[in-house]
Each structure stands twice: as structure tokens, then as C-alpha cells.
Amino acid sequence: MAGKGKKKHPKGKPGKRRAQPRREKPPEKAARGEVRPRVPGPARPPEPISEETEFIELEDLAGETAAAGAEVPAGEGEDWGRRLRRGMSRSRRAITMPFTRAAAKKAITPEFWTEAEDALIAADAGVACSARIVENARKRIRSEGIRDIEGLKDAFRREVVAMLESFGEPPEPPLERPRVIFIAGVNGVGKTTTAAKIGFLFKEQGHRILFAAADTFRAAGIEQMEVWANRVGAPVVSHQAGGDPAAVVYDSIESAKAKGIDTVLVDTAGRLHTKKNLMEELGKMWRVAERQMSGRPEAILVIDATTGQNGVSQARIFGQALDVSSIALTKMDGSAKGGVVMAIGMELGIPVAYIGVGEGLSDLRPFDPEQYSMALF
């Protein structure tokens, strides 16, 4: 039949489709079984931990259990932060015990908070101060979703720094010269050596200094001040044993004015702070200094860290005779009572200006809250 039959194809063979170009497989449709690399997305911040959560499971990070209570070995040419951390090892060992137990359990249990507070109290941080640090750290840990030991310790460090900074800072050096600083404290805390170490620091900064050996009640005290002044390389004004300490202060300030001295460091007597006559004598010396100056003298109270909470009562009583503006905390290397820094600040609002961990001239340095918190936890 005309016109009927198979349809002709203009190109190619009859019944065969035109070849289509081969399409590449899209990357999202990889072959079955193929392992595709994961592309990390943006890190999500940890979720807050509910207040109702009693047990907080900690992440098992390698080495944290061992590091929680690790000690710092002595090293050649170590910096001050490392020396301070090594010197405060006794305090740190006691305070970080709850953290060591938490690392071993891999969990923060309800008991952890009580143990942490007890450890701070045992280090003489004081009940109110310890409770505030623990409560603020607990809120920070929950709100930030912290689940590792280092983060746990860091939360406590930040609370300690915040508290110490709230106590204010030591006074700025006055513009008038000479600057007069009384070094006060009970016998045995290291007043004379502390005066020498502060003088050494000032001399390193280019200041001209003079020592006043005003502990005239102790013959050995005058000799000791002269020995230390010689080591520092600075002049000293002294009278005979048993003389009037106020007269030593007067002569020292007059000598400083004549010689262009920047700072006079007054070493004072330190018989027990319960002795009323000592406080009267200190008050007399203070008034003599005030009359010779255009500004006001300063007082640094030296406290032996091993005495712990007794340092608070010392600061309160010495403050009745002198305008105590800051604290020098000594013998931290032999104490497990390193928390007294916070107790004094909270009780009296007096900041710590210096901290010492040894007998050498360079073993006393200006107090740094961050270095201290790192050494404590």
C-alpha cells in the first residue's frame, strides 16, 4: 500500500536513538560505598547545663587526670610565674584536691561544690569569700556548659581574679619627693628583708632609695637593716639601740631631702600587735613623717602567709595606728594558707601589693592577680 511502511530516519540507522552526551554525576550522588570526607561546619557553642542537673559528666581528655594535681619542677632561668607556681605548691595541692577527684570520676558530683568550698576555707580564704567564689564559679560552669577539668579550673581562676580586682589597687606613687613608706608587721614576718627587697625593686626601676632603721628596740634589727642596705647598695640612717624611732624617721626624711632621694623605706619595730605601746609609737612616727611631707606617708603591712587568718586581725589592729594601703605577703613557699590574700581583701578591702616565695632579693615581686590564680589552681 502506497504511502505506508516504515518511517524513515533522516540520520543514523533505522530504529536507533541518537547518542546522548554523557553527564557527570553530581558530587552529592557519589557511588554507593564511597566514603566522602566530612566538611566540618561552624563549631557550636556548648549548651548551658540545667540547674536541675546534679551530675555533670566530664569529657575524657587525655592527660587531664594526671595534670590536675601536677607539680612544677624547678628549672634554670625560670620566669616569675613558674617560680610562684612552684612556691605555692602546698596551697595548690590542697585547693585542687576536689578537681583531682572529679577528674578521676569523670564527673562533677553534688559533693564537688562542698569539697571545693571546704578546700578554700582550709587555705584560709575565709568562709564568705570561699562561698562567693564557689557559687559564682558554679553559675559560670553551668551557663557556659563547661565539661572538662581545665575549663573547670579556669572558671575558678576567673572568679578569683574578679574578686581580687574588686579590692582595688595599691596607691600610685605620689609626685612629691621623697616618698615615705613604712614597712610594718609583727616580729618574725620578714619586715627587714621585705624592706630590702622592695628597695631592690625600686632601685632596678632607677629610683634612688634610702633605708631608715627605725626598729631601735632590737639591736640586731639595726645591724640586720645595715647588712641588707649594703647588699642593695643604698644608704641607711640609724641611731643607737634603744633610741627614739621617731627621731630616726625625722633624720631619714631630712637626709633624703638633702640628697635628692626618691623613696625612704622605714623599717619599724614589730613586737606583738597586742602591745598597746607599740601602736602608740608607730602613730608618733607617722605624725612626724606627715609634718615633714607635703603629702602623706604610706604603710605596707607585711604578713607571713603561714599565719593564715591571723593576718586579718594583724591588718585590722595595725590599721588603727597607720594608714595601711597595701599588703606584702611573705613566705608563700612554706605555706598551705595561700587563700589569706582573698580573706584580707574581703574583710578590710586592702589590696596585696607584693608577694614573696623565697629569701633572695629577687624573690619578691609585685602582686599580679592572674599569676596568683594560675599558681593557686
What string of H, E and C letters represents the secondary structure of the chain? CCCCCCCCCCCCCCCCCCCCCCCCCCHHHCCCCCCCCCCCCCCCCCCCCCCCCCCEECCCCCCHHHHCCCCCCCCCCCCHHHHHHHHCHHHHHHHCHHHHHHHHHCEECHHHHHHHHHHHHHCCCCHHHHHHHHHHHHHHHHHCCCCCHHHHHHHHHHHHHHHHHHCCCCCCCCCCCCEEEEEECCCCCCHHHHHHHHHHHHHHCCCCEEEEECCCCCHHHHHHHHHHHHHHCCCEEECCCCCCHHHHHHHHHHHHHHHCCCEEEEECCCCCCCCHHHHHHHHHHHHHHHHHCCCCCEEEEEEEHHHCCHHHHHHHHHCCCCCEEEEEEECHHHCCCCCHHHHHHHHHCCCEEEEECCCCHHHEEECCHHHHHHHHC
pLDDT at 76 over 50: no
The whole-number average pLDDT for the span 195-209 is 94
Compute and round to an integer the Cα radius of gyration of the chain: 34
pLDDT at 3 over 70: no
Q: Which pLDDT score, from 0 to 100, does residue 295 have?
A: 82
Give the pLDDT confidence of 90-109 residue by residue, as tens digits.
888 888 899 988 888 888 88
Calpha distance 99→68 (Å, rounded): 7
pLDDT at 28 over 70: no
Record the cell numbers describing residue 137, joined without a space. 564559679
Q: Which pLDDT score, from 0 to 100, does residue 272 have?
A: 46
pLDDT at 352 over 80: yes
Q: Contact at 8 Å (CB) between 305 and 331?
A: yes
Closest CA to 91 of 315, 274, 329: 329
Give the pLDDT confidence of 210-245 residue by residue, as tens digits.
999 998 887 788 889 999 999 999 999 999 888 889
Q: Contact at 8 Å (CB) between 284 and 246?
A: yes
Max avg pLDDT among 78-82, 266-270, 321-325, 342-346: 266-270
Residue 202's pLDDT band (boundaries 50, 70, 90)? Answer: very high
Closest CA to 364 of 323, 337, 333: 333
pLDDT at 365 over 80: yes
Percent residues over pLDDT 90 in the chain: 31
Beta bridge partners of 355: 329, 365
Q: Which pLDDT score, from 0 to 100, does residue 260 have?
A: 93
pLDDT at 68 over 50: no
Q: Which pLDDT score, from 0 to 100, does residue 259 have?
A: 93
Q: Which pLDDT score, from 0 to 100, does residue 56 have?
A: 63
Calpha distance 229→238 (Å, rounded): 11
The whole-number average pLDDT for the span 108-137 is 90
Q: Which pLDDT score, from 0 to 100, does residue 336 have?
A: 63
Percent residues over pLDDT 70 in the chain: 76
Q: Which pLDDT score, from 0 to 100, does residue 124 have?
A: 83
Strand 107-108 and strand 56-57: pairing?
antiparallel
Q: Which pLDDT score, from 0 to 100, does residue 205 have?
A: 92
